[in-house]
Chain A
Amino acid sequence: MNSGRDLPISALPSSRAAHRAAWVLACAVFPLIWMGGLVTTYSAGMAVPDWPSTYGYNLFLYPLASWLEVWDVFLEHGHRLLGAAVGLSTIWLAILLWRRDSRRLLRWLGVIALGGVCLQGTLGGLRVTGSSIRQMTIAWTPAPLFLSASAGLFALAAQVVLGGGAERRSLVFWARSAAVSAAFFALAWFGVDMARDQLFLAKMHGSTAPAFFALAACIITLTSPGWIARGPAQQSASAGRVQCLAVVVTGMIYLQIVLGVNLRHIAPDAAPWWFLVWVWSHLIVAGAAAVLIVWQWLAVRRWAPPAVTRRSLLLAGLFLLQLVLGATTWVTNYGWPLWFTTLILPVQYTVVAEGLWQVLSTTAHVGVGSLCLVVAASTALWSRRLLALPATAAADARKTDAGQARRKQRR
């Protein structure tokens, strides 16, 4: 198999710089997720009440002494600084991909990453300023209606101004304009409603972070020399099943993360059965994901290329660690379950709120969960790239040759 490292850079559709930038981004996102986990564990999210400034200071100019003085402020401001570094890394990566990568998919992935980081930053910011929006809507009840109606009318006005004279006379034009305006109205209504709801914002913030991390990891894979200069795919009748399995595993791990986020950000006044719903869903999906991950490893371990088998094994190991961390997180947050102390071992434990073990296990559970997602996504990509059904392998190879020829021609 050819290695990308043996090829001259000019022969690659992507630059090494983009690949390195993607690595830098992923390496910044991982600690950011840990930091975010700590912010939630310590409920330090509201330690800095303004955004994007910090107590009136520019984010980058907040005095070091004040930053280090209070633990909660240290966490929240540190989270923001690291977030800003991730934002800058994403901009740089998006520019590199747009300018130097010839693949349309990669260019747009850069744009999506940029959108993702903006969304994540906005969610984080709204999480802080959302209470002000909430206060505004409490003080002036028609505020959501006013804002949404403004958005709808603005959309309508823009269409009328931009539409041609003849077009304006048609019924289709007005129907389309009304539909677009209604969509803007609904979007604004939804946006204001969500911005008021801090818990929802927290959940979305927590769900977006691992997805963004996985996206950064996918870009690393797709820009890697090994990916670009792949050899012929390994043929097997079970290739399709493995590829499908890898996608399902990735989806299940993400679902598991979302369930965990909901468990972590449960509304204090939610009906008591809501927590049970999230706990059981989290346990059931964990069990199902564990079975599928083991199945995936068993399915590839004898014949698939090392890039796939190693990742499958790594995923199995990480998931096992994640299960242990999950159990530890439960014990350090809620104590030993009654069935355990009555039927298995009569151990006694007093939960210590914000104690070292509680903080470590909970945050590690968040961090390793996102790492599992990244490895699962990477496995899915590599199994797509390196495995093929016998019948499609030849056609696939021809397609690749044609693609390479086209790229050469373009250059």
Chain B
Amino acid sequence: MVFFSAALVVSGCGQSESPGFRINLDGYDPAKVSQAQREAIGEAMEEFFGTPDVPRVPQELGLDAERIAVAAGPVEGRADGAQHGVYRQHCAVCHGISGDGAGALATTVDPYPRDFRLGVFKYTTTRAGAKPLRSDLRRILLRGIPSTGMPSYAQLTDRELAALVEYVVYLSIRGETERYLVQRVIDEGEYLPLGADVKEEVFDEAAVWAAESWAAPEQNPEDTVVVPPPRPEYTPPQRAASIERGKQLYASKNSQCVQCHGPKGDGDGENDLLYDDWNKPKIGVTPEETARLARLYRLPAQKLRARNFREGAFRGGGNPEDLYLRVYAGIKGTPMPAAGPQAGAGGVLTPEEIWDVVNYVLSLSGRY
């Protein structure tokens, strides 16, 4: 009975009954944000996007409300096996209810779970600066990300996968809108309570803009989507020559590979102070500044490590085509640059050269 009573007490810890979206005040001193400002932001965001249990999907955003309804809300089953609340069931514990990447498990995984609110996703088939395709998100869900906490959800049904992808897009648009609203209210000192005209302006300038940038690669794939050309079929001497060329390109100053990945691809380059876009704002010029900034974020700063090619674990996928895309389009939100030709500009490497680098990297990992 004593043990059981203790269980009752222990189990009451860390509870939260009705999860809501958390206002994104990352980088702001909480003491300097008034209650009125918080309430104004919270109310406007609820008006635009609803709550986690009852999401609102404005028509202007072009999102699939039915799919979002499947992903949102508490976990529920149906007699026909249709699952609801799939985001909370599978994703929220890492990515958080708000999609802020600061769920309960966040501090135990490296890298941190993705914060969707920046609208930036690492492994995409789109050019630098473009939003991913929905099929990019679906591929990550299906494959998972090796050697990270991101599982493969290959066991889920198509309906559940589509619902999750749509909900991630919803959270991302919501997050970008919220950030814009927060800047208007706190940095620009918008008059409170927010008028209908201000809300409308925020919605058009942020939410609709974000939705359009999501729709762009789907509507104009020829401008934004990178399609790897077929990999040349090499004879053994050609393959050796390609690897050798790749080795030289890898070592060249122009490609910048060595700086981070090291001369032998061990991930021990000179540039070891690597941070992604989610962690960069947490780093100050001085240690004191960094310590001060750390208090303004939910998660402490986390360094990136350049990939050690000899381990053979490629997070965005280990196929030659996946590696081609990584070299061509870079890894968004990270110091890994896009080396392929971009719209209106020649790249650092030509498609043929990218294949050479890919062949060299594959040879380092023992896969080629």
Question: Using a CB–CB distance below 8 Å, which chain A residues touch chain B?
Answer: 43-49, 55, 66, 69-73, 76, 131, 134, 138, 196-200, 203-204, 207-208, 211, 251, 254-255, 258-259, 261-262, 266-279, 334-336, 338, 341, 346, 348-355
Question: Using a CB–CB distance below 8 Å, which chain B residues touch chain A?
Answer: 2-4, 6-8, 10-20, 22, 74-81, 83, 88-90, 92-93, 96-97, 102-110, 143-156, 298-299, 308, 310-313
**In whole Å, how far is A338's beta carbon from the nearest beta carbon of chain B?**
5
Residues of A within 8 A of B22 (CB): 269
On whether the beta carbons of B90 and A353 are closer than 8 Å, the reply is yes
Residues of B within 8 A of A199 (CB): 15-17
On whether the beta carbons of A46 and B147 are closer than 8 Å, the reply is no
Main DSSP-derived SS at the B contact region: loop
On whether the beta carbons of B104 and A267 are closer than 8 Å, the reply is yes
On whether the beta carbons of A71 and B17 are closer than 8 Å, the reply is no
Q: How far is the CA of A196 from the CA of B151 in the complex (A)?
A: 31
Q: Could you pull out 17 A-B pairs where Cβ atoms are within 8 angstroms?
A: A43-B89, A47-B81, A48-B77, A49-B78, A73-B79, A199-B15, A207-B11, A258-B6, A261-B11, A262-B14, A267-B19, A269-B19, A271-B14, A272-B102, A273-B107, A274-B104, A275-B108
Q: How far is the CA of A353 from the CA of B107 in the complex (A)?
A: 20
Q: How far is the CA of A45 from the CA of B18 in the complex (A)?
A: 18
Given contacts A43-B75, A196-B17, A274-B14, contact A72 B147 (CB under 8 A): no
Q: Which residue of A lies closest to B14 (CB)?
A: A274
Q: How far is the CA of A411 from the CA of B20 in the complex (A)?
A: 65
Q: Which residue of B lies closest to A342 (CB)?
A: B305
On whether the beta carbons of A355 and B93 are closer than 8 Å, the reply is no
On whether the beta carbons of A203 and B11 are closer than 8 Å, the reply is yes
Residues of B within 8 A of A69 (CB): 81
Q: How far is the CA of A198 from the CA of B4 in the complex (A)?
A: 19
On whether the beta carbons of B7 and A204 are closer than 8 Å, the reply is yes
Residues of B within 8 A of A352 (CB): 144, 151-152, 154-155
Given contacts A254-B7, A349-B146, A350-B146, contact A197 B77 (CB under 8 A): no
Q: Which residue of A lies closest to B11 (CB)?
A: A203
Given contacts A43-B75, A336-B147, A348-B311, contact A270 B16 (CB under 8 A): yes
Q: Which residue of B lies closest to A276 (CB)?
A: B107
**In whole Å, how far is A143's beta carbon from the nearest beta carbon of chain B?**
14
Residues of A within 8 A of B16 (CB): 199, 267, 269-270
On whether the beta carbons of A350 and B151 are closer than 8 Å, the reply is yes
**In whole Å, how far is A225's beta carbon from the nearest beta carbon of chain B?**
28
On whether the beta carbons of A353 and B11 are closer than 8 Å, the reply is no
Q: In this complex, which of B22, B92, B155 has the most chain A Cβ atoms within 10 angstroms of its Cβ?
A: B155
Residues of A within 8 A of B148 (CB): 335
Given contacts A46-B77, A269-B22, A351-B152, contact A275 B10 (CB under 8 A): no
Q: How far is the CA of A349 from the CA of B152 in the complex (A)?
A: 11
Residues of A within 8 A of B144 (CB): 350-353
Q: How far is the CA of A131 from the CA of B85 in the complex (A)?
A: 13
Q: Which residue of A lies closest to B106 (CB)?
A: A272
On whether the beta carbons of B311 and A268 are closer than 8 Å, the reply is no
Q: How far is the CA of A254 from the CA of B17 in the complex (A)?
A: 26
On whether the beta carbons of B106 and A266 are closer than 8 Å, the reply is no
On whether the beta carbons of A197 and B15 are closer than 8 Å, the reply is yes
Q: Which residue of A lies closest to B105 (CB)?
A: A275
Residues of A within 8 A of B75 (CB): 43, 45-46
Residues of A within 8 A of B74 (CB): 46, 131, 198
On whether the beta carbons of B151 and A351 are closer than 8 Å, the reply is yes
Residues of B within 8 A of A262 (CB): 10-11, 13-14
Q: In this complex, which of A211, A269, A348 has the most chain B Cβ atoms within 10 angstroms of its Cβ?
A: A269
Q: In this complex, which of A44, A45, A268 has the most chain B Cβ atoms within 10 angstroms of its Cβ?
A: A268
On whether the beta carbons of A268 and B97 are closer than 8 Å, the reply is yes
Q: In this complex, which of B11, B148, B311 has the most chain A Cβ atoms within 10 angstroms of its Cβ?
A: B11
Q: Which residue of B lies closest to A196 (CB)?
A: B17
Residues of B within 8 A of A274 (CB): 13-14, 104
Given contact pairs A49-B77, A258-B10, a sample of 4 additional A-B residue pairs in the complex whose CB atoms are under 8 Å apart: A48-B77, A72-B83, A268-B97, A268-B104
On whether the beta carbons of A346 and B3 are closer than 8 Å, the reply is no
Q: Which residue of A lies closest to B89 (CB)?
A: A43
On whether the beta carbons of B97 and A46 are closer than 8 Å, the reply is no
Q: Which residue of B lies closest to A355 (CB)?
A: B155
